[in-house]
Amino acid sequence: MPDAEGAGRYAAAVDDALDRLVDVGFEFGPDFAVHAPMTAETLVTLDRPDEVPSWIELNLRRRRSHDPPAPLEPIPDDDPVARRAALGDYRRVADWVAYFDRRLAEGPWRDVVVEWWPVLLDGAFAAFTHGLIRTAHAVRILRTAPKPSGLQLNELARGLAYWAARFTPVHGSGGSGGSGEVPVTMAARVPVARVPAALSELTVVNAGLYAGLAPRPPVPAVHTVTAPAAVRLVLPILPEEMWPAAYATAETLAAQVWAVSRGFAGRGVPLPEGEPPGVDLLVEEAVEIGEEHAIKLAEACRREYALRPDPRYLAAAHTLNVNCRHEGGL
């Protein structure tokens, strides 16, 4: 975490980015999640706040977001059955935003996340894991900023709302399936004390698989790394008794992403011989390329590499950077 002065600069840059994105919807194209808030926060985390405004401008030209559905009816505070019925109904996304805005105005944001975490965790495949990932980036904002701002709390509300509205159950497939190159198994529960190390093992194994397979198109399988890494961002605010379920979900999510990604045929661009570049150069390359997933994967791999220095993280980020350059930034 940055010092007080750094946290203040971080918060100001994030608020500026969120203000620029306040009218942007949740999705673009054929139900693809909008990544701009997550990527802008990542750029600030990578200490590149001056590059955020131009990146947002370019991204908004490339990704024309859809307007979200109009509100239908309020999500009730006192009717859990009605709330449960509204999960997974994207027509209610604006209703969910209003609900979480209201809840976050009434009490500490951490309490709202802790209350809803076990509910939403069951549907963490929402929007191909992007409900979880967007929420985790919003949690990092609020953990880092000196004092929550209205824009920051609204971004958390949007992350939770998108997760709720696109709620999609998580399930393991059992067995290896397909070619057997990637793991698709039911997740195992691990003791609380082992969860951080188990997350490292999960992310490094999937980073290695991603680099080894070099899948084409290169993007879907990236979430076998970024979704578990996003879970780690939320752990510090969760009661420890919630950690094993969080890990089990991360493991099953990665397997579920691999199961879907196997539907994409072909390999990406072969990597040059030799060791991948170092962390700093990989981040520089990802920022220069400008593609959302390249930036987010490079930052996630940098963060995970700091906890467990393993070249598989570097290889994964390098794989995506090379393929993004080949595809013209995707």
Q: What phi and psi values does residue 206 have, to the nearest 5 degrees? A: -70, -35
Q: At CA 189, angle to CA 187 and CA 195, rounded to 5?
A: 105
Run of H or E including 28: strand 27-28
Read off the pLDDT of residues 18-42 as tens digits, 9 standing for 90 and up: 999 999 999 998 789 999 999 999 9
Distance CA(14)–CA(48), nearest Å, equals 11
> Cβ(76)–Cβ(38) under 8 Å?
no
| Chain segment 287-300, per-residue pLDDT in tens | 999 999 999 999 99
Q: Look at residue 175 in the predicted model and tell me its pLDDT.
A: 31
- Between 105 and 267, the higher pLDDT residue: 105
Residue 261 has pLDDT above 90, yes or no: no
* Whole-angstrom Cα Rg for the chain: 19
Identify the pLDDT of residue 171. Answer: 80
Among 161, 18, 22, 167, residue whose Cα is nearest residue 94: 161
Task: Indicate if the pLDDT at residue 145 is higher than 70.
Answer: yes
Q: What pLDDT sits at residue 275?
A: 85
> H helices then E strands: how many in the chain?
14, 2
Instruction: Map tokens 């191909």 to a residue.
Output: 128
| pLDDT tens per residue across span 192-202 | 999 999 999 99
- Give the residue from 273, 257, 250, 265 showing the smallest Cα distance to 322: 273
How many angstroms separate the CA atoms of 128 and 130, rounded?
A: 6
* 272, two tokens: 């040059």
State the first-to-last Cα distance of the chain, in angstroms, to the nearest integer.
32
- What DSSP state is assigned to residue 124? B
- DSSP character for 197? H
Q: Are 7 and 145 in contact (CB under 8 A)?
A: yes
For the chain, helix, strand, coil in percent to 5 are 65, 5, 30
d(CA 321, CA 198): 27
User: If DSSP codes are grouped into helix, strand and coil, which group holds residue 267?
Assistant: strand
Query: What H or E segment, with its residue span, contains residue 105?
Result: helix 93-106
DSSP secondary structure code for residue 3 in this structure: -
Measured in whole angstroms, the distance separating CA 63 from the mean position of its chain's CA atoms is 18
Residue type, 28: F
pLDDT, position 300: 98
- The count of residues in the chain is 330
Task: Tell me how far apart the alpha carbons of residues 15 and 72 are, in angstroms, rounded to a whole number.
Answer: 29
Burial 254-293 (b: 16+ CB within 10 A, else e): bbbbbbebbeeeeebeeeeeeebeebeebbbbbbebbbbb
Q: Which two tokens stand for residue 114?
A: 């802790």
The predicted model gives 91-97 an average pLDDT of 98
Render pLDDT for 188-231 as a digit per residue (tens, 0 to 9).
679 999 999 999 999 999 999 999 888 888 899 999 999 999 99
Task: Answer whether 163's CB lies under 8 Å from 170's CB.
Answer: no
